[in-house]
Amino acid sequence: MTDAPSPSGAPAHRHSLWVVLLVVCIGQFMVVLDVSVVNVALPAIQRSLHFTEANLQWVVTAYALTFGGLLLLGGRLADLFGRRRIFLIGLGLFTVASIAGGFAPNQGTLVAARALQGIGGAVLSPATLTIITVTFTENHARARALGVWSAVAAGGGAAGALFGGVLTDLLSWRWILFINVPIGIVAIVVARIVIAESRATGERQPLDVAGAVTVTAGMIALVYAIVRTDQVPWGSAQTIGILAVAAVLLGAFVLIEARLASHPLVPLRMFASRALTGANAAMFCFGASMFGMWFFLTLYLQQVLGFSPLTTGYAFLPQTAAIAIAATIAGRLAPRIGPRPVIVVGALMAAGGLFWLSFIGVGQSYWANAFGGGVLATFGMGLAFTPIALAATAGVRAHEAGLASGLVNTSRQIGAALGLAVLSTVVADHMRSYLDQTFHGPAFTTPAQAQAAHQHLVATASASGYAQGFGIAAAIALAGAVLALVIPAHPRRPDPSPAGAGAGAVIEGPLPAPEPA
C-alpha cells in the first residue's frame, strides 16, 4: 500500500511545507493540551457543577476512554478516506466539543463533551503524523519536521498545567475549553488552503468498526460499574448487571479480533512477541499510576494546601522538567544497554516517588512531600516511556511498527481510565469512612469555630484519602516494573516473511509522548 496525492488536492509548494507543519502541530498541540489543561481546573469544576469525589474522575476518564479506544481506528480512517479530510473532521469535532463543554450547564453535558473531544482527538492525532510523513518526502526535512512535532507534543502537556492555572485563575474553568475554539477555527481555515489531500493507494482494507465500538463500550461499562460502587454495593444486581454487560462487550471484542474481522484492528497474533506484550502491560500500569498521581496531586495542592489554580500550574513545572531530562537520558541509554533495564529502573523510581507522596498530610509544605515525590515519580516515568516505545516497535515486523506504537498509546489511555476509576472510588470510599468514624469533638461556641473545625476535618480526610491513592498507585507502578521483565534484554525485530509481509495495515499513530496530565 503506497501513498499518493488525491486529484482533489494540489501538492503543497515548498514554501508552504512549513505552514503545513505549523497547522498539523497546532492540531496535535490541542489534543495533548486537553489532556493536561483540565486537571488544574478540576477543583473549580467540582465546585461549579457539584461533582462528587468519585464522579469527578469522569472529566478525565471520558476523554481517555474514547481517545484510547478509537485511536487505532482513527489511523486507518486517515489512510482510507484522505488525511486532510480526516484532519479537518477531527479538528471540527474537537472544536464543537470544546464549545459544548465550555457552556455545559451540568455534569452530564460536560462528560459527554469530553467524550466527544476524545473522539475528535482519536481522529485528529494520527492524521497529524501521517500528513507530516507524506508531505515531507526528503529525509532530512522529514526528520526536522518530526522533531518539531515531537517537541510540540511534549510542550503541549507542559503548557497545559500552566495555561489551565492562568485561565481558571483569571477567567473561569470554562475558558480551558473555550480557548480551543478560535485556535480550531483558524487551523481549519488554513488547513483547507495549504494541506494537499492524500490517501493510501492499493487494496482498500475494511474498517474494523465493530472491534473499536465493542472495546470502547466495554471499557466505559466497566468504569461505570466501578464508579457506581460509591452508591450501590459490589454485590448489588445493578453492579453485577453492568459488569456482565462489560464482560460480554469485551469478550465480543476478543472474538471479533480473533475470528470474525478480516482485517482486525488489533491482530492478536502480535502479542506472541514478548517485547510487545511486556511493553503494553508495563505501559498500562504506568498510565494507571501516573494519571492517578496528577489527578490526586492537583486536588491535594488546591483543596488541602490551599494553592490557587495558577500556583498549582507553577508547582507542576518541575515535574515537566524532570520528564524532559529523563526522556533525553533514556533516549541515549536504551539503544546501548537495551530498553528493559531502563524501563525497570524508571518504574522503580516512579514507585518510590509515589510511595513518598503517600506520606502527605495536612499542614505540610509543598516542598516537604509533594515536590520531592512528584519529581522523583515523573523522572522515573520519563525514563520508562521512550524505552517502552522502542521495545514495542522492535518486537514486531517493520511494516507493523506503526500499529505497535498505536497499541502502546492505547494501553496508556485505557490504563489511565481504568486505573483512575479504581483509585478514585477507593479514595472516595476512604474519605467517607474517615468522616463517619472520626470524633467531631465538643460543640463550638461560635459558627466560625464550627466551620473552621469542619474544614480542618474535611482537609484531613481528603489528605488521608489521597495518601492512600498514592500508595496504591505506587504498587501499580511496581507491578509495571515486574511486568517489564517480560521484555527480552535485547528485543530483535522478527525476520520478514512473505506470508506476514502483507498482514495488517500500517497504522500511523504517534509514539507515546510523555506529557504531564
Q: Would you list the DSSP string of 115-139?
A: HHHHHHHHHHHHHHHHHHHHH--SH
Task: Give the whole-angstrom CA distance, residue 165 versus residue 452.
Answer: 27
The radius of gyration computed from the CA coordinates of the chain, to the nearest angstrom, equals: 23
DSSP 179-237: THHHHHHHHHHHHHHHPPPEEEESSPPPP-HHHHHHHHHHHHHHHHHHHGGGTS-TTSH
Task: Give the whole-angstrom CA distance, residue 407 versus residue 404.
Answer: 5
Query: How far is the first Cα of the chain from the last one, in angstroms, to the nearest whole number?
Result: 36
CA neighbor of 513 nearest in space, from 312, 306, 331, 264: 331
DSSP 289-300: HHHHHHHHHHHI
Q: Helix, strand or coil for residue 4?
A: strand
One domain, residues 248 and 146: no
Task: Give the whole-angstrom CA distance, residue 390 versus residue 295.
Answer: 28
One domain, residues 513 and 403: yes
Query: ∠ CA(260), CA(263), CA(265), 5° rounding?
Result: 90
DSSP 464-481: HHHHHHHHHHHHHHHHHH
One domain, residues 239 and 276: no
CB 208, CB 258: distance < 8 Å: no
CA 480 vs. chain centroid, Å, equals 17
How many domains would you assign to the chain? 3
One domain, residues 152 and 214: no
One domain, residues 4 and 114: yes
One domain, residues 131 and 25: yes
Task: Give the whole-angstrom CA distance, residue 65 versus residue 220.
Answer: 7
CA neighbor of 73 nearest in space, from 513, 509, 404: 509
Q: Which residues pair with 201 in a beta bridge?
A: 2
One pLDDT digit (tens) per residue for the chain, 517 residues: 445 444 434 444 554 777 888 888 888 788 877 777 888 888 889 889 988 877 888 888 888 888 888 887 877 787 777 778 888 898 899 999 999 999 999 999 999 999 999 898 888 888 877 787 777 777 677 667 766 776 676 666 667 777 888 888 888 889 988 988 988 898 888 888 877 776 656 566 677 788 888 888 888 888 888 877 767 777 788 888 988 999 999 899 889 888 887 778 778 887 888 888 888 899 899 888 988 888 888 889 988 888 888 888 888 888 888 887 888 888 788 778 888 898 999 999 999 999 999 998 887 888 877 899 999 998 998 888 878 877 877 766 766 666 777 787 788 888 888 888 888 888 888 888 877 776 555 555 566 666 666 676 777 888 888 999 999 999 999 999 999 998 887 666 565 544 443 333 333 333 444 443 3
Indicate the DSSP class of residue 8: T
The grid coordinates listed for 336 are: 546501548
One domain, residues 184 and 282: no
One domain, residues 506 and 372: yes
One domain, residues 176 and 307: no
Which residue in the block uniquely carries the three cell numbers 475494511? 206
One domain, residues 29 and 91: yes
CB 127, CB 164: distance < 8 Å: no
Domain range for 109 is: 1-206
Query: Which H or E run includes 514?
Result: none
Indicate the DSSP class of residue 5: E
Domain of 36: which CATH number? 1.20.1250.20
One domain, residues 232 and 286: no
Task: Give the whole-angstrom CA distance, residue 332 versus residue 336.
Answer: 7
One domain, residues 139 and 85: yes
Last residue of a domain, one of 219, 240, 260: 260
CB 237, CB 187: distance < 8 Å: no
